[in-house]
Amino acid sequence: MSSAAFVFLDRVLSWKAPQDAVTIASRHHEIAGTNSYVRRRLAALRAAGHTVVLVSSHAERVVQPLAFALGAREVLSTRLVSEDDHSSGRNATSTKNAAEQLSAIKEWAQSHRVSLERSVAVTDSMVGVSLLNAVGQGVVVNPDTALRVMALAKRWKVEFWDRPEGVGSVFGREPATIATALLMPQLVPGARFTFRGLELLPDEGPAILAANHRSLYDAVALAVLAKRVHRPVRVMAKAELLAVPFLGPALASLGVIGVDRQTNPREAYRAARAVLAAGEILVIMPEGTIPPAAISVDSTLAFKTGAARLAARSGAPLIPVAISGADAVWPSGSTVPNLSALVRRPRVRIELGAALVPTGSVVKDTELLRASIIAMLKSSATMDAGNTAGEDAP
C-alpha cells in the first residue's frame, strides 16, 4: 500500500475563503506565491513518496486551485451540492470539523489503498490534532503553546513552515530576529559603522543585496545592516561554514543558506528563490571568496553570475552593496582579527547603490554590478582620505 501526507494549514496560510470566483482565481496565486517555504516542504513530502492531500474546512471550489498552486494534487474539503451549475449551499460532503475531516481521510485512504500507518499528517492548529492521531507520523507546524505542549507529550515533530528549513523558534520568534533586536552597533567591538543609501532599499517585497567580500568581519557588517533594515535578511555562504561544529548549527538557525558549489549548487539556488518568493531580502557575495590582501581596497575579484541570474529569474531588484574598512578590523588572509582595532575602532562603511536596470544579459548585469560596487569603493576611499563621517549607525 502507498502512503499520503494529509496537510491542514489554514492558520499558516493565513487566508480567509473568498466567495466569488474572480477573487478565488487571484487570491490563490497570491497565497501560493508568498508561501514559498510551504511549497518547498510539500515538495519534500512528495519526494519522500507521499501523495500530498490538502485538507481544509473551506469549500472545494475555493481550496482546489490553491492546492494545485501549492503542489498538492488531492483535496479533502467541503463539497457543495450543485444545482444548475450554482452552489446551493447544502453540503454533499463536509470537512468543517475534526470528526468530519477524520472520517473523510479514512474513507479517502481506503478508496486509494493508502496505509494510514505509513502516512504523515501535518497541522498548525488544535483542529487538526485528530488527524495526527490517525497516522503513523504527526507533524505540528508553527505551534502555539498548547499545540507545542501536546506535540511534546505525543512526540510529534515540530517544524516551522514560514521560514527556511532549519530555522527554529525562541519564544515564538526567529533566533535571527531576537539577535538583531539585541544587537547594539555602537557596542560592537572593533569598528564604527557608517551607512549610505539605506533609502534605496524597498520597504517591502524581495530584494537581492550583492556585496563585495574583503574580510571575515563582513559578516558583522551585514549583521549591523540587518539591524538597520528591520526586515528578514537571509545570507548565502559557503557550505563548509555550516559543517563547522557549533558554528554551523548556529548559522543554520539564523537562516544562512549553504552553497555547496561542488556537489549540489542547485539546492542553494532553489532555497534562494524561495527566500525571494517569500518577499524577503537575500544577501549574496558574488566574488564567492575573500580576495588576497594584494588586491587594492577599491577593487574586487571577478564576480560570478549567480546574483544576476536570481534577479532575472525572480524579478527582484538587484542592489549593489559596497563594504569598505572591514579588512582594517580583520585583515584579508588572517586567521585572527587585528586586536588594535579594539582600541582604534576603524570606520567600516556600508553603502547601497541604486538597483540595477536589467539589460537582458546576466553577464552584462554582472559586469554592471561589479562596476557599481567598485565605483562606491573608490568613493569610500576618497571619503576616508578626506575623513568624511557620513551617517553613523545608532
Q: Give the C-alpha separation, 372 to 356, whole Å.
A: 9
Q: Give dist(CA 169, CA 51) in Å, integer.
A: 28
* Residue found under cell 555547496: 260
Strands 257-259 and 233-238: parallel
First to last CA, the chain: 61
Within 8 A by CB and 6+ apart from 49, the residues are 2, 3
Model confidence over 140-150: pLDDT tens digits?
A: 998 988 999 99
Q: Are the C-beta atoms of 148 and 139 separated by less than 8 Å?
A: no
Domain coordinates of the chain in residue numbers? 3-159, 175-392
Q: Which is more confidently placed, 324 or 93?
A: 324
Place of cell 477573487: 23
Spatial strand order of the sheet with 3-8 comes to: 86-93, 74-83, 50-59, 3-8, 120-123, 137-141, 157-159
Per-residue pLDDT of 154-193, as tens digits, reads 999 999 988 888 787 887 788 888 888 888 888 788 889 9
CATH of 175-392, one of 3.40.50.12500, 3.40.1130.10, 3.30.70.600, 3.40.50.2300: 3.40.1130.10
Q: Give the per-residue pLDDT at 181.
A: 83
Residue 389 has pLDDT above 60, yes or no: no
Q: Please tell me the distance from the alpha carbon of residue 62 to that of residue 189, in angstroms, as a whole number.
A: 54
Which H or E element spans position 146?
Answer: helix 145-154
Longest CA span, the chain: 82
pLDDT at residue number 7: 93
CA dist 210 and 322 (Å) reads 8
DSSP 163: S
CB 52 within 8 Å of CB 3:
no
Q: What is the pTM of this model?
A: 0.79
Backbone dihedral angles phi then psi of residue 337, each to the nearest 5 degrees: -70, 165
Q: In this predicted structure, what is the pLDDT of residue 90?
A: 40
Give the pLDDT score at 79.
63
Which run of H or E residues covers position 221? Answer: helix 218-229
Residue matched to cell numbers 547603490 = 353
Q: CATH top-level class for 3-159?
A: alpha beta
- Other CB atoms within 10 A of residue 22 CB: 8
Q: Identify the bridge partners of residue 59 per DSSP, sorted by sequence position.
A: 78
Average confidence (pLDDT) over 74-90 = 56
In the chain, the amino acid numbered 74 is: E
Percentage of the residues of the chain whose pLDDT score is greater than 90: 43
Distances (CA, A) of 88 to 80, 82, 83, 91, 92: 7, 6, 6, 8, 10
Q: Label residue 93 by pLDDT band (50, 70, 90).
A: low
